[in-house]
Structure 1
């Protein structure tokens, strides 16, 4: 057998390369090695063929008292990154304190093996608080992947740099953006796509999830193409108009013409596959996943192959962006000299173009990675496979309301006084707050007299208040919003406050001066001859975020006007589908308030 294995190894190019690189000491096992394998097989069966080094730690940990090991796992698990990490000796002390409290005073463990065991546990959670926080994100969800066999089971999301420069209308210069994408793993359907400033944050990731949960539609009439818009209830393609068949089975929609309505399906995912990017590990994004019961499947560090579907989509994006002006290539070696001199499109136009590419090109093109078990040779597009799978799994519509976006925004608890609600020296007020000025403690929460407001960090020109009696969403404008056209985001506000502090801070402030100073700083930065270099990119990014935020809220208002949902239809749908929110809240809640009040 040793001779046979040696002859086979001589023709194995991979093994010969490993031998030449020094990775292997010999190409094939010797006669003695094969004889030892046979002897181990006879004595121990399959276990005898396992490398002893792989089994060594199992026998070692058995020498430690089981009660100690159980307590050690709990103590080490408490190091989630929010608490400062401690030494092995301190972990051992805490374990013995817990054992003593539980009445286990007879626990004795070998010193060296115990230290090695604790080091092994600590290595598993991460040596630093940052790695501990990253790995703690897996507690929201599973730590292993599983195959996606139906639409919405796993949705892969990721961010990539757009290899196109876009035009900044604020300063008339080119700048770079990122593309956020969510793709359904089972069917490769693009469920959501956003173009955001560099770099994306947790709010952007949360709004991408919002796009996944809401349905889109695009209309082609003649040579006119609409943008993606809210389509009402989630829907798929009209499966009653079937044109393509496999054998006797009719499964695919008619893709022979671009004319008509193009649906972009929506789902409530079972799991999200993402890398360890900070936006996917942010408190806001993880809180959203917890609220909606969505698992977070994190890829291993430096392993892009753990999320191959969205990585392959990034390659497909090259086919789209190379058709546009301002394409700069993937690196400087591919960049032309005249890239920045071309007539560029804006970030909003880039997003619109990519969404059209998805609906009219990608969704309708043959995908080599999509295979039907009944006929492996059949060529299918993402939308065709979506309908095939829905034919088996059934419809997965989720009842929705146009004010769904407010479930994806953070909440700020503010006191409402005579002047209105104040947030970081910005005063928000509206007539709708008249009955909630200086409310009693416990009105909205037990510990104080604060009132909850929905808050969009990407546009501080207003906050939103849900009336507790009517359920209507009311926009509460910032008093200074009409005095400036500058983009006001939380990042800009932080920078403005720092500039005010550098100017003198509280020493130059007087009652009512904070809002005036903020407006003065905004005016200086946006209308001056040349803003500071570090502020140019901030203001460009803020302008894009404000534009996207106002588009999102306008979509919600437009959806309320177009797609009223009958309570009876909603109740029937709720009987078959898990709720996005409590059913009684959904049925009783009216449409958002559609008028901006002065």
Structure 2
């Protein structure tokens, strides 16, 4: 087949001349030029029915010679043969397309020496082009056969470096250089995932946001997330000052457990208001009745790196407990789990940079005075991240989720999950409350007369009375009691009573005060509490505990413990003074006092709608953007959150402090 497209390699003048010759050669072959109107008869001297091919070639040579183009019949024959063999390219003047050597007149030994000098920078620190040229000269002088070679001019060496160093970052970022060196030489492979949970990836990375910790210190935290390859859904993401094996185990529990709606979240974030098939799933899994719009995906295979968190005994035991196949990637090969690497990078660009305290990815991108500015606490930022995943990530069209039959159409993770659910089905994990508590991190504590103290918070319950100042009988732990806790919910802990073979739910001592202060602060009331429910129990979620007259068996648990109390509790933690800030994405101002703290509002991105009640003075809601009023029903907007979250983030408004909250003893 003639390679007609190669005519683009020739100059425009040579291409036009080739098309001019094509017109005459076609007349010799067929009797008519290519642009002849339909019904035109061949000229007598070029009629194939009257003259042979050789006669037509002599006639064309005579015609062109008479017109001033000196050519012989043999020349016409040669061009006709090249045209029949190579097409239009055969008629072009090949001298005009002659290409120079790749590196000009530079000696091959100099080229190889510079290649070696550039290759040596793969694991070294970044240097300048001048060092590469100096190193090239050193390599040539160290070899006997190249000692007499003279280097070209400096300008020629710079041009040679530009050609050889393309795509290597030889003088750029050392991190990018190492990443390029770790890439496989061949094409990238892909492990297909045809159903949710068939293949998932997990990883941790530092998050470029400063967080005010419980001790008042501003530090960056680590983000650990897990993504489903088939749907690109972020099934769970947690923030911790330093990720441990227990955090990864808790991440598994969050992935297989529905995300319950939290106070302050818009109604549009409910699963029943999303693209997920909520009604059909509710018939199978009753836990989804009050769930948010995040799919519940049970992992079959998890790909991780060789970090100590993911290859630890605790994380492997959790995977075995849930029947999950753990597949470590090759060492120093981030391309084995490129999806989670890209996903965590997207969290930085789509979420982190819109949060107060953003530090930038490197020190040269970091601003000044971030530590003295308003910062979120860790539970508050965790709540913001959970809401962002549901409101933005799960509803945002993903470029990797395109329909093969209609590539211009991109699916969101929720829509892709709903599509794959038709062919793969849904089988809920029979994860009871006891199973959930077993997956949580553990610690060994003494039960004192005042209860249990963890990180300056005191937990107590009447059910601990028989166990106070008693030994557990576990000699290897010096008689301490096994305590499980949720790192993302400080409202309660669980104590294993090995004598009665049960879990005792122990609440934070000041939990009810924090909830009451938070409700009074917003001018709203909490959800109605059942008369039989204890006063210090969260009204939004059943509590996993067992035994005792005021507890609920673990197997009846339907959703995860609430994080509302953790958010409110963190707002009472002592810390350095925070200046008043009116930025829409910054935390609310807090007074500098250790005896009285103003509870913060629930951490929620007030998108285009809100579930808060109107203020007593009128219909205008201060949570909404200026000039916007609530709908007549007072329930906010319907439908999925807007995809343009950047503009919505710029419209977020927080209610300023109007009066200090009640005093809470330390």
The structure that is helix-richer by fraction is: 1
TM-score between the two structures when normalised by the length of structure 2: 0.42
TM-score using structure 1 length: 0.46
